[in-house]
Structure 1
Amino acid sequence: MIDALKQLKSNLEAKPTRGRSYEIISYIVDACLQRDDVYEKLTFEAATLLHCCGTAAEREMDPQKWMPSISVLQKALNLTQTSEARRLRFGYSPGGGRGNVSLYWLELAPEEAENQSGREVQPDEVTYRRSAPGSIKPSITARFFFKKGEIKNRSVVGTAFLTSIMLASLTWIAMLSLVILSLVLRDESINMGSLFHLLIAVIGFLFIWKQSLAPWFKVIDDCVVKAPLGVAAIFEDSCEIEMFRHERSRWTRLVRFSADCPLCGSNIELRQGKPDHVLPLVGRCIESPHAHVYSFDRMTLRGKYIGP
């Protein structure tokens, strides 16, 4: 057991991989190697693993919803181990009822399981998680509007925010129009310098429009889009904005959808579907973003494998 744990730790250090499953495996291996009695079974609760491996925003989630499925954990563990060494497997005791919690541990795999590990059927479906309300911190400029990470569209604050977006869009269009008009009405003939200034103005306009303003209009139809620049705090990871209906009112909130890749055990996050897919948003594995791709359904929080 101790030799298998040391070999697994060596493999993790030699091939560092991003993802929740790998962070959990690394933490459990370190804890097992640091215990006094290496032959004693060391079990871990989901809440403990969330506290030690999750981010500050993720710690607001239900530990059981945060934990990857046991099949995903085992898949990541299999990919980390070499075929020559004695293999480990995840032990799992599902909880249920008051006071009974789910437990996870590492143990040596029987030889039969080692022989069958290479013949696993690859799953073609993922289940997404939605971050807890208020776990995504807005930026300083957006904090006034997004109380607890969300805003009621038809409230006073919501109306002021949407009006500011509309005015900013109109102002940006007017500025571009003035630049073009000033170049057209010049007494001097148009030269390369004028064309260069026009090109810079158009590129700047398109960038700001696409990254900061257009998502607020697009979310009305798509319900979920990538968060525009300047909305989430600077140290926040990639996130989305979601428009939803609650008690006859429409709300907009900062949210992050994620899943565990059943093919490699890494994390899946929402990214743009284009140019290789027609869907506006797809789930892409952070370790293999063009090969491990899944669809995204915000109502069922499920996705199907759609391939590269």
Structure 2
Amino acid sequence: MTDDPGTYTRRPKAERERDGERPLADQAASLSPALRRLKAGLLANLEEFERDQAAAMRRVDEGGLDNSGLLALARGYARAIDPEQRDQLAASIATRLSVDEAGVILRAAAAVRTAVPGIVLRAKANGDSTAEIARELDMTDSYVRRIARENRLVSWRLDLRDSELPGGAGWKPYEFGDDILATPYTEAHLADQVITAAGRGPRENRSRVLIWDGTAEQPDDAAIYTEEREPLPLVERVSEDLKAEFVRIGQEQKAERRRVAEEIGTHADPEDYEDDEDDDTSGHDWHHPTPLAGLVCRRCDLAHKNWAGENCPAA
């Protein structure tokens, strides 16, 4: 055995039997303080994990799918460092969450995933390091850098000129905001989107969009992109308004038909109302034999799902 108490060298069996020593036990005893500290640390982490998990489950049991409950669940998952602990957490969640509650969480997670580029860019704008962002989002540093490389955080302002806004003639702010420009989209794409979404204001007045890098307030001459547009001619404005009104009326009519169908208990498939242009039934008289049944022809008993457009033989 060497002089280092933390290193064990196996001695020949005859020598060990002659001396009557137990070197392995002796060295284990010398290492016991470090082992005790390691064990204490592991137990402390396990107890903290179990406390967080219990707290999260209490909030779920109380119907509290609020931010604190979800945060506790997330922390519990992050501290579950081995598969056994994560399986334990999954089993606990499965016994306490309903399908509706789980669906809410899954849809929220999907929404957060789509917002990750904006979350990353805003965190970097606030001074968070790549390592900090990666740790909090459970990503690698390289993936965070890739998001920052392929996306840009920009701010924009839509102005109208000679409009009825307070202050009289000249450029007046109409709308403002910030957005994420993901490759290959450009400032021109964003400007077109802003003007189109603003509706009547830019259609009836001269407009301009200014775009800046970042979200900090900056002067107009610091804009990285500026685009001006003239108002639409009167005929085009009226045409756009009519199109929007027709769309609105059509949506209201479809919603009303669905409501009536539900009230009379037909359980009609909403797809029955998606296309109102083709009303040709080729002589078939479609109906629902029972509230839960599909459409069937009263005359020839043909199921609507099997109908290929042929005429009804019994018509």
Note whether the superposition's TM-score is higher than 0.5.
Answer: no
Larger RCO: 1 or 2 (CA < 8 Å, sep 6+): 1
TM-score, normalised with respect to structure 2: 0.21
Which is strand-richer, 1 or 2?
1
TM-score, normalised with respect to structure 1: 0.21
